[in-house]
Structure formats: structure tokens, C-alpha cells
Amino acid sequence: SRPEIKWTMQCYHYERRRERDSDGTERWKETRVDTHHATMYFHYDEWEDKSDTAVARNNGYLITRLTHSKRLEFADHETELVYQREMLRFKNLNNQDTHCEFNESFDINGFKENTLMIQEGATVPSWMNFGVYSLFSVLLLTVPYRIAFCHCTGEGTFTVVKSIKCLGHGRNIHDANLLAQ
């Protein structure tokens, strides 16, 4: 599915306030005051899934526990320049207080960090279901269940790779001067 790139900026400062406790003792307390929050989604024109689909096919197990990761790539150098320039512009426009927290997220709808892959034609053993796992949980036997589960399954990794491209559309993609600021 189409990747979503989101930038957020939270600006704040600290204020020192005098407080009096129940004994009448005066103390100074530093409090964070949030003053500005902004969100922006990076817009691009095209995307392509470049993930390697030949994952863990011949690991000797019928069932493989997959750990997924995700990676964003730029289709070309111009797209990377547009990305860096727009991120810098977003940061500069929203730098509105003493302190700022910038966050970037790269989301893919439906992405899960862990899944099971079952080889084509394989059947899952009858004890590998939620009902049996629930019974073992009630009997406080989840550790032996997990040991058996891990012994009967393989491990693998899979990286979801999304490549994005900006086609220009009025953007001055060759303006590297903004990156130097």
C-alpha cells in the first residue's frame, strides 16, 4: 500500500513557578508549557514497492516467524533534494519557541512487525491455535508452549522497501541552497 510520511513539530518552553506546599514551604517548580504543534504530510507523485519477495522460502521449516522492518528509498537524487528541502522548510516555519521536538514517521497501512509465514501446502499442527494457547495460559504453562512453538518454527526477517518519486510540479528541485541553511 501507499506509504505515508508525516512530520510533526512540538514547540515549548519552561516556566519557573513558585508553589507553596501544605506546610507553607515555598518551592520553585519548572513546568513545561507547550505553545505550538504542527503536522505535515510529505507529498510525492509516484511510489513503488521494491521489497524482495523471495523471503525464507527454503529455511527447512513449514512455519516461519517473520520479523518485519520497513525502509524508505528515494527513486532519484532530485526527489531526495525535494524531501530535504521541504522538511527543512517545515522545521523553519514551525520553530516558534525556545525548544522544539521534531518527529518523522513512515507508515504503511496494514504493516505488522511480526507475522507467521506458512509454506504453501503445509498444514498447521492442531496444537498451534488460540484455544490451545489459551488453555496453556490458564494452566500457567505458556513458557513450555512457547518453547515448543519456537522449536517447531523457523525465524526470518523481511524488509518492506518503498521507493518514492517527486516529478517536480513547480518545485525547484535543483535549489540546493535551502539545504545549506
pLDDT tens by residue, 2-36: 999 999 999 999 999 988 888 888 989 999 999 99
| Residue 67 in grid coordinates | 520479523
Q: What is the pLDDT of residues 112-135, one digit of tens each?
A: 999 998 888 888 899 999 999 999
Give per-residue pLDDT as tens, 93-116.
999 999 999 999 999 999 999 999
Helices marked H in 54-124: 77-93
Quick one: DSSP state of residue 43? P
Residue with cell 541553511: 181
Q: What is the pTM of this model?
A: 0.75
pLDDT score, position 179: 41
Phi/psi of residue 117, each to 5°?
Answer: -115, 125
What is the SS3 assignment for 138?
Answer: helix
- Residue that the C-alpha cell 510529505 belongs to: 42
68-100 pLDDT, tens digit each:
999 999 999 999 999 999 999 999 999 999 999
Q: Which residues contact 108 (CB under 8 A, 6 or more apart)?
A: 1, 3, 4, 70, 160, 162
